[in-house]
Structure 1
Amino acid sequence: MTIECRDRLNRRAAERGFTLIELMIVITIIGLASAVAVLAMPDPRGRLVDDAERFAARARAAHDSAIVEARPVSVWIAGAGYGFDTRSHGTWLPISEKPLRVSRWADGVTPTLSADRDRVVFDSTGLADRPLDVRLNRDGESATVRIGADGSVKVDG
């Protein structure tokens, strides 16, 4: 076989393109990378525990506000959201400053309540008028925020 024939054969082999095995390997690698990316993506609505932690932090702020201002502060919880009121001259007035202004639950979050609207009042010493468990639900997942009679606020979930 001459050098010219060998060159022609090598050129034809190079022009054939990728083999089936090479293509299958590339497709497998792309599939694995896609699966890893999808599993690592966070839920765009956030985690339910994050919503529970956010509510608990605001309830703790209401507890602290009651002590600092030496007047009762209440936390109310409803199906659509939650808010905070302060007692002034015998009436409850909504608090409009951050972080204690009215907030809506994140999309899909529903609380389990004993009534249409639950309320806990922190007195000027930080004690709650009653213990309350607020259970938050979304897509079969749940988290519970526990407000103790001693004014403590904890998240289980």
Structure 2
Amino acid sequence: MPISDPGSNADARAPCGARGFTLIELMVVITVIGLASAIAVLMMPDTRGRLMDEAARFAVRTRAAHDAAIVEARPVSLWVTPGGYGFDQWRGGAWTPMDGALRVERWKPGTAATGAARERLTFDTTGLADRAMTVTLTREGMRTDVVVDADGTVRVAG
């Protein structure tokens, strides 16, 4: 049995092939890191929000305007442009902008309402609309319709 110098670890050395990582091990680690980062990016919410969420918010606010016309016994109108929408209330013989929850709102970046330059729909004191109206929201090739029926019902379609 060979004897080594005291403090020498010559016998404890590993064979040359067992040192470091193999190329396959490095490729597996890089693949796992790439998959984990891809999943993290896909799970991050869109800062602009989903188009359906924006359509649902618009529909809820429109329904609130319908309810305000009934509760306050004053006609309330909804106006829509490609850049945003708002609500007006009939006071003193003229339309005046509403504030609070029904203040003027701009569409989120990238969203537009297609149609006329400015459309107006009016809810009377019984909640009936003067006409039916469909607002089509578009963003990045996606499309959603918000339908306001003449009886005052509001729904998101599509």
TM-score (norm 2): 0.89
Where in structure 1 do 4 or more consecutive aligned residues deviate above 6 Å? none
Number of residue-to-residue matches in the alignment? 154
Q: 2:97 aligns with which of 85, 90, 94?
A: 94
**For 2:112 and 2:27, how far apart are their aligned partners in 1?**
47
| Alignment match, 1:52 | 55
Aligned partner letter, 1:128 = A
> Does residue 155 of the first structure (1) align with residue 149 of the second (2)?
no
Superimposed CA distance per residue, residues 82-120 of structure 1 (whole angstroms, 9 cap, x where no aligned partner): 111011232111112x2111111100111012x210011
User: Runs of 5+ in structure 1 lacking a partner?
Assistant: none
Distance 1:64 1:30 in 2: 52
Supply the distance in 1 between the matched residues of 2:34 and 2:66 (Cα, whole angstroms): 51
> Hey, what's the Cα distance between the residues in 1 that align with 2:3 and 2:51?
72
Give, in angstroms, the shift of residue 11 of structure 1.
7.1
Structure 1 equivalent of residue 64 of structure 2: 61
- Counterpart code for 2:38: A
For structure 2, the 5+ residue unaligned runs are none
Structure 1 or 2, whichever has the larger Rg, is 2
RMSD over aligned CA atoms reads 2.0
TM-aligned CA deviation for residue 42 of structure 1: 2.0
In 2 relative to 1, CA 74–2 (structure 1 residues): closer, same or farther, beyond 3 Å?
farther
Structure 1 residues 21 and 71: CA distance shift in structure 2, 3 A:
same
Q: Tell me whether 1:108 sits opposite 2:114 in the alignment.
A: no
